[in-house]
Amino acid sequence: MSNGCTCGKRCTADINGQCPNELKAPGGCNNPCTVFKTDQYCCNSGSCGPTDYSKFFKDRCPAAYSYPKDDATSKVVFTCPGGTNYKVVFCP
């Protein structure tokens, strides 16, 4: 990738189509912190672990970052120098 950026892997799973009912949002799938607003899902205390919802995402996209402390198994890391313009593309 140009400008010194490094990019992670792709995920081709149908997250929106398989989204758990309680996380469904118009046109997508919310993250559990947005829906439930609890420390279990938001990890505000700094001591949290994977949940059934993070496992749902991790099962479908194993290299993706699925909850706030998921550093050990995530391989999707994006780093770019300050001032970089980002372009995120979601494919059908």
Q: What is the rounded distance in angstroms from the CA atom of residue 7 to the CA atom of residue 2? A: 10
- Domain containing residue 40: 11-77
Instruction: Tell me the helix, strand and coil percentages in the chain, rounded to 5.
Output: 25, 5, 65
| Residue 3 domain flag | no
Q: Does some domain include residue 59? A: yes
Q: Quick check: is 67 in a domain?
A: yes
Domain count, the chain: 1
Measured distance CA(30)–CA(79) in Å, rounded: 24
Dihedral sign, CA of 60, 54, 34, 42? negative
Name the band, by pLDDT with cuts 50, 70 and 90, for residue 1.
very low
Using the structure block, give the residue that is written with the tokens 């912190």: 33
* 73 located within any domain: yes
The more confidently predicted of residues 78 and 13 is 13
State pLDDT tens for residues 38-61: 888 888 876 788 899 989 988 988
Specify if 71 maps to a domain.
Answer: yes
Residue 69 within any structural domain of the chain:
yes
The predicted model scores a pTM of: 0.65
Q: Are 43 and 67 within 8 A, CB to CB?
A: yes
* pLDDT tens digits for range 56-77: 988 988 877 787 777 666 655 5
Higher-scoring residue by pLDDT: 69, 34: 34
In a domain, 36, yes or no: yes
Assess if residue 1 is contained within a domain: no
